[in-house]
Chain A
Amino acid sequence: MSREGVGAPLPRKEDDRLMRGRGQYVGDIRLPGLHDVAFVRSPLAHARIRAIHVPKAYRDRVFTAVDIDGVLPIRAVSGLPGFKVSEQPVLATGKVRQVGELVAMCVAPTRAEAEDIATAVVLDLEELPAVHDMLAAREPGSALVHEHWGDNVFLETLVDVGIESALDAPIKVSRTISTGRQCMAPIEGRGTVVQLDHRLDQLVVHTASQMPHIVRNGLSECLGIEQGRIRIVSPDVGGGFGYKAILLAEDVALAWLALRCGHPVRWLEDRREHLTANANCREHHYRITAYAERDGTLRGVDCEATVDSGAYSAYPFSACLEAAQVASILPGPYDFPAYRCRTWSVATNKCPILPYRGVARTGVCFALELVLDAVARAAGVAPEIVREKNLVRPEQMPFENITKKHFDSGDYPEALARALKAVDVEAVRARQRQDEPDGRRIGLGLAIYCEQAAHGTSVYSGWGIPMVPGHEQASARLTPDGGLELRIGVHSHGQGLETTLAQVAHEILGVPVARTRLVHGDTAMTPYSTGSWGSRVMVMAGGAVAAACEALRDRAVRIGAHLLQARSEECRFEGGHVVGPTGDVPLEAIAHTWYRRPQDLAPDTDPGGLEVTAGYKPVRDSGTFSYAAHAAVVAVDPDLGAVEILDYVIVEDGGTLVNPLVVDGQIYGGLAQGIGTALFEEMRFDARGQPLASTFADYLLPGAADVPMARIDHMETPSPYTRFGQKGIGEGGAIAPPAALANAVNDALAPLGVELLHSPITPRRIVEAVLAAETPAVTAREAA
């Protein structure tokens, strides 16, 4: 391993810019003649639009659906049988179907003036019953979000693998488990600045996006203009987490507006818009039954899962990816013989559900790991015993599970064993048996998951959504002075790709990381890519960069051999030099020769020169499976419901780690978000579909005092299918914490007869459950 190559714990080179406040985000873009946009948004969750009254003075500065005639609605279809298509109008037509839906677009020299205009626009709305509860929405007679469907179900799926055989198991544990609706809350919200470049006859769309090329697809389809006339630039992006992997109606509206007005226009999402109108995710409901032998060996799992998909199918992932994934990944890292899962993706009068770090995995892990703890209690064994008995074993790898997921490699029981050792399970249990001086109760919780990542064509073609990843491409170009430029179509929005992909290149070419520049986030300058999502970048773009650098290396060797007056076969590439029998020549000299002294090249030199675009797919594209065992120790105050995390251990296997520092950073960040899911974050709605949090005073994110310094232990089982054995790990940190923490709280409160099955586990919910367990009769009477 070279000092800067794959495996080196290099500090991130982009941090010099980002940590000093010198990043360049959409909000930092200043253009002459820039006008700001404020939207008039629906104040109601479900209503018929009778009229939109625009004051006469503002007629030329306010645009509604009638003005943007010809702009097509956003359609994110799925090819799965039975999927019902929603059409999301860019500006509402006929009905509004969620609070915050765009009704009119107001443009003014400043945002404050645009908001003044927006408040002067009067909406005449006829309120309709809001569909706010996904279970009720499935029932006949519910109000309908999309009338012509006849019901509110985007998609229903069923998988049944011999569940009948499990029904006679001696242990049968059923639970209703659910996860709250969340908002993603990256530090930077969405933002779009659009200008017309008359010289190039192009719309230049600066937008905070994880997937610039997919945004171009979507804009081209909605606006009906050819892709060559659209350029997407995604500058520094302050956190994505999935929210910036979506084409928003705002993006389409702004692009239309720039064409219409001719001057640059800008929309910067404010936090209220972010929370109430856009960034929703995660709301799942499970009715799950586990069947097991008396010793905790699973016989089967039966589940009905419902996902609140919101009003529209979001582009490009669609409204059903989440629920459909639930069915395929619910078995987690476990091996059991029978399985049934029915899923519903339900339309409601809420914001569209969007893919958030971990996507369906966080909810699935929560449901399965909680029910496994319930199995352990029913079997009278420790929770780790149930897991040990059912985890896929290393000798089974590669393993095809009950839903045909192909686990590439790993030792799941070893991860669990290491986590138990690190957390010192015996010491924790000994402490549990003694009374704490402050009256709190100690609990230990476990959760294990495996995370399919970087899954490609064979998986996504089956979903039939607007975006199917194929070969990932990268361009590598030596500059005349021997520096390296890498061009990739994925985007770095905090993952450290400017460092890690340079490390991959260094591994092949030996160019110092400091002399390697990453060009990304611009459709005009990068190869097509579906972008950064699905924890795919280090596998896919890493593989593509390696492939491009290898091709570049081979050309460099041929040029170098000529300079050394040797045959290529006699030369090797080492440490940035071509080494021949009689001497060596550095890459700088080879680059200088190609660009500046072509007269020194061999007559039959490769005309492709020192710039290569290469494509890459792993040997198998069914995905890598990173995994982790999380162990949490908590102290719970049963009277106030406060939860303190005393210890948190993560044993993680991401295959070959390209940069362990960056991997640790991803895990810490994911953990913080997972703690938010577990204990704090919840976007609640009332019966009229009104969101009940519109600021961070109401929507609580974990703060510094709430996130412990986790202890991370790495296993490194290479994937047999990827270039360096690396696996996707970007989302994993956020998957297990809700399950581990819920299990820990339940372990702490089990002696009181308390079991909490809904996230977030707020102080209020804990106290409620404790009081209900203490005095069920009294509480029931008072509640009545």
Chain B
Amino acid sequence: MKPAAFAWERPDSLPALLARLAEAPAGVKLIAGGQSLGPMLNLRLVEPALILDITGVPELRTARVECDTLVLGACVTHADIEDGRVPDLTGGALRRVAAAIAYRPVRNRGTVGGSLVHADPAADWVSALTALGAEVEIAGRTGRRTLPVERFVTGALAVALGADEILVAVRVPALPAGAAWGYVKHCAKIGEFAHAIGAVRLEPGAGRGRAVIGAVEGPPVLLADARPLFGGRIGADFAARFDPRAADLALRDAGMADAVERHIHVTVLGRAVAAAAAPDPRANTLPEAA
């Protein structure tokens, strides 16, 4: 398991990186933490001619708050978030998600941007950031654009990113006061990829909310308007109103034919709803995992 030969460059600025990306031959790959690309190279699932290491671009490693939006550079690591080295506008939600990603050595190197661009359906950020209503910021030679995460992730291992573009930042909106957040994943073994993810971001006061069922075959199933899961209304009693049949129907509509799979995903979503209603007091320190 040794990779095929490749060239390696580490540009030190975004313009340099974009310029190199534009002129590079086909078969260029960007690497940040390398936690997915590394094994893929070793298994020769990918054999790029050139690898551009983007961690030398300072801008990509920073995080900042713009009004009520948290802007995470693409190369911010899971451990940066877990350890509180970046600001937080989500009441600890991001931190708890980060703390339960894989294993600590993976979190030390793996990045939020890399995880989104790799777009493994079982990855935590793909589901969690979709539920949080986050956007990605994309830079190309001709300028910048933003996309909601749910439009960026187009399929399993597929994203809406041009060959000459890179994801530079993730923009996470603040979780407003009174909002409820629940995130639960189910793994066959702690630290391994999730078999089911449920995430809800609910605003009972405003009567609205989003729900995500993740770790499915394609991109996560998003209910941008989650009211059907709660009998048509999201109020303070949302947990009691959660209707597993509505979630099951959403999964049927999404094409999930396997009843066992649906049962597991609906159960996990139900537990995410329960977690949102009655946050475990320990949840601020413990990873969330089913």
Q: Write out, one digit per residue, whether chain B residues 163-201 have a CB within 8 A of any chain A CB (1) or not (0).
A: 000000000000000000000001011111101100000
Q: Is the CB of B3 within 8 A of A767?
A: no
Known: A112-B3, A271-B1. A680 touches B188 (CB 8 A): yes
User: Is B190 within 8 A of A270, CB to CB?
Assistant: no
Q: Choose among B2, B189, B193, B260 the residue that contacts A771 (Cβ–Cβ < 8 A).
A: B260
When the two chains form their complex, are residues A782 and B259 in contact, meaning their CB atoms are under 8 A apart?
A: yes
Closest to A38 in B: B2
With both beta carbons as reference points, the residue of chain B lying nearest to A783 in the complex is identified as B259
Number of B residues, CB within 8 Å of A = 24
Q: Is A71 positioned at the interface, with any CB of B under 8 Å from its CB?
A: no
> Which residues of chain B are within 8 angstroms of A702 by Cβ–Cβ distance?
189
Q: For A270, give the chain B residue with the smallest CB separation.
A: B1
Check if B1 sits within 8 Å of A771, measured CB to CB.
no
- The answer, among A637, A694, A700, A779, for a CB contact under 8 Å with B192, is A700
- Is A640 touching B186 in the complex (CB atoms < 8 A)? yes
Neighbour of B190 across the interface among A111, A705, A779, CB < 8 A:
A705
A-contact 0/1 string along B124-154, CB 8 Å cutoff: 0000000000000000000000000000000
Distance of A148 Cα from B197 Cα, bound (Å) = 52
Chain B residue nearest in CB terms to A764:
B260
**B277: Cβ under 8 A from any A Cβ:** no
Distance from A30 Cβ to chain B, minimum over Cβ atoms (Å): 18
Encode B252-284 as 1/0 by CB contact (under 8 A) with A: 000000011001100110000000000000000
Q: Which residues of A contact B260 (CB under 8 A)?
A: 764, 767-768, 771
Would A111 and B263 be within 8 Å (CB), given that A680-B188, A695-B39 are in contact? no
Contacts of A763 in B (CB 8 A): 186, 188, 195, 264
Assess whether A272 is interfacial by the CB under 8 Å rule: yes
Query: Scoring A residues 98 to 125 as 1 if CB is less than 8 Å from chain B, else 0, what string do you get?
Result: 0000000000001110011001000000
CB neighbours of B44 from chain A (8 A): 115, 119
Across the interface, A697 reaches (CB within 8 A) one of B192, B259, B264, B290, namely B192
B43 at the interface (CB under 8 A from A): yes
Which residues of A (736-784) have their CB < 8 Å from a CB of B?
762-764, 767-768, 771, 778-779, 782
The answer to whether B5 has its CB under 8 Å from any CB of chain A is: yes
CB distance from B184 to the nearest CB of A (A): 10
Min CB distance A592 to B, Å, is: 54
Q: Indicate if B4 sits at the interface (CB-CB under 8 A).
A: yes
CB distance from B193 to the nearest CB of A (A): 7
**Contact call A779/B259, Cβ cutoff below 8 A:** yes
A767 touching B188 in the complex, CB below 8 Å, given contacts A112-B5, A116-B5, A272-B1: no
* Cβ-based interface call for A642 (8 A): yes
Q: How far is the CA of A778 from the CA of B262 in the complex (A)?
A: 14
Q: Is the CB of B189 within 8 A of A115?
A: no
- In the docked arrangement, what's the CA distance between A112 and B268, Å? 43
Asked if B263 and A767 make an inter-chain contact with CB atoms under 8 angstroms apart, the answer reads yes
Query: Contact string, A147-169, partner B, CB cutoff 8 A, digits 1/0?
Result: 00000000000000000000000
What's the least CB distance linking A491 to chain B, in Å? Answer: 27
- The minimal Cβ–Cβ distance linking A59 to chain B, given in whole angstroms, is 21
Inter-subunit contact A703/B189 (CB<8 Å): yes
Given contacts A639-B263, A640-B264, A779-B259, contact A272 B2 (CB under 8 A): no
Contact among B3, B189, B196, B259 for A700, CB-based, below 8 A: B189
The answer to whether A706 has its CB under 8 Å from any CB of chain B is: yes
Bound CA–CA A695/B195 (angstroms): 17
CB of A112 within 8 A of CB of B2, answer yes
Chain A residues 633 to 664 lying within 8 A of chain B, measured CB to CB, are 637, 639-642
Q: How far does the Cβ of B287 sit from chain A's closest Cβ, in whole Å?
A: 11
Interface size on A, residues (CB 8 A): 32
Chain A residues, Cβ within 8 Å of B4 = 112, 115-116, 119
Chain B residue at minimal CB-CB distance from A272: B1
Tell me the bound Cα distance from A119 to B45 in angstroms.
12
Q: Is the interface of B mostly helix, strand, loop or mixed?
A: loop
Q: For the complex, give the distance between the alpha carbons of A767 and B268 in Å.
A: 13
Contact with A along B195-215 (1 / 0, CB 8 A): 110000000000000000000
- In the complex, A272→B43 CA distance in Å? 9
Contact A767:B264 (CB < 8 A) given known A272-B43, A640-B290, A642-B186: yes
Contact with A along B29-43 (1 / 0, CB 8 A): 000000000010001
Question: With A and B bound together, what is the CA distance between A782 and B256 in angstroms?
Answer: 12
Min Cβ gap A677→B in Å is: 14
Q: Complex: how many Å from CA A767 to CA B4?
A: 42
Report chain B residues within 8 Å CB of A762. Answer: 188
- Write the chain B residue with the least CB distance to A639: B267
Q: Are A771 and B263 in contact (CB under 8 A)?
A: yes
Give Cα A272–Cα B45 distance, bound, in whole angstroms: 13
Whether B189 pairs with A680 at a CB distance below 8 angstroms is yes
| Neighbouring A residues of B188 by C-beta, 8 Å | 680, 700, 762-764
CB-contacts of B92-135 with A (<8 A): none
Q: With A697-B193, A705-B190, A706-B189 in contact, do A642 and B290 touch (Cβ < 8 Å)?
A: yes
Q: How far is the CA of A111 from the CA of B3 in the complex (A)?
A: 10
Question: How far, in angstroms, from A508 to B117 measured CA to CA in the complex?
Answer: 67
**Of B2, B4, B186, B260, most A-chain CB atoms within 10 Å:** B260
- Tell me the smallest distance from the CB of A321 to a CB of chain B, in Å: 32
> Which residues of chain A (268-306) have a CB below 8 Å from chain B?
270-272
Q: In the complex, what distance in Å separates the CA atom of A695 from the CA atom of B264?
A: 25
Q: What sequence of 0s and 1s flags, for each residue 233-267 of chain B, a beta carbon within 8 Å of any chain A beta carbon?
A: 00000000000000000000000000110011001
Expressed in whole angstroms, the minimum distance between the Cβ of A755 and any Cβ of chain B is: 17
Distance, CA A355 to CA B176, complexed state (A): 59
Q: Which B residues are in CB contact (< 8 Å) with A637?
A: 290
Give complex CA distance A272, B1 in Å: 8
Inter-chain contact A640/B193, CB cutoff 8 Å: no
CB-defined contacts of B195 to chain A, threshold 8 Å: 763-764
Q: Mark B71-102, 1 if CB is under 8 A from A, else 0.
A: 00000000000000000000000000000000
A116-137, CB < 8 A from B: 116, 119
With contact pairs A115-B2, A116-B5, A119-B44 given, residues A706 and B259 touching in the complex (Cβ less than 8 Å): no
- Closest chain B residue to A767 by CB distance? B260
Q: Which residues of B contact A111 (CB under 8 A)?
A: 2
Give the CA-CA distance A119 to B2 in the complex, in Å.
12
Contact residues in B for A110 (Cβ distance below 8 Å) = 2
Complexed CA–CA distance, A373 and B176 (Å): 55
- Give every chain A residue within 8 A of B196 (Cβ-Cβ): 640
List the B side residues contacting A641 at CB < 8 Å.
Answer: 264
Closest to B257 in A: A782
| Complex CA–CA separation, A119 to B192 (angstroms) | 30
- Interface flags for A478-489 (1: CB within 8 Å of B; 0: not) read 000000000000
Which A residues touch B268, using CB under 8 A? Answer: 640
Q: In the complex the two chains form, is A703's CB within 8 Å of B191's CB?
A: yes
Q: In the complex, A771 Cα to B267 Cα: how many Å?
A: 13
Give the residues in chain B near A119, CB-CB below 8 Å: 4, 44
Partner of A706, one of B2, B39, B190: B190
- Kindly list chain A residues whose C-beta atoms are within 8 Å of the C-beta of B189: 680, 700, 702-703, 705-706
Alpha-carbon distance A763/B195, docked complex (angstroms) = 10
Q: How far is the CA of A694 from the CA of B43 in the complex (A)?
A: 10
Chain A nearest CB, measured from B240 CB (Å): 16
In the complex, chain B residues whose CB is within 8 Å of the CB of A116: 4-5
Q: Bound state CA distance, A5 and B1, in angstroms?
A: 46
Tell me the nearest residue of chain B to A779, going by C-beta: B259
* Besides A639-B267, A767-B260, 17 other A-B contacts (C-beta < 8 A): A112-B4, A115-B1, A115-B2, A115-B4, A116-B4, A116-B5, A119-B4, A271-B1, A640-B186, A640-B268, A642-B186, A697-B192, A705-B190, A763-B188, A764-B188, A767-B263, A771-B259
In the assembled complex, 15 residue pairs joining A and B whose CB atoms fall closer than 8 Å, in A order, are A111-B2, A112-B2, A112-B5, A115-B2, A115-B4, A272-B43, A640-B186, A700-B188, A706-B189, A706-B190, A763-B188, A763-B264, A767-B263, A779-B259, A782-B259
Give the A-binding residues of B (Cβ under 8 A).
Answer: 1-5, 39, 43-44, 186, 188-193, 195-196, 259-260, 263-264, 267-268, 290
* Closest A-B pairs by Cβ, 8 of them: A112-B2, A270-B1, A639-B267, A705-B190, A782-B259, A768-B260, A700-B189, A115-B2
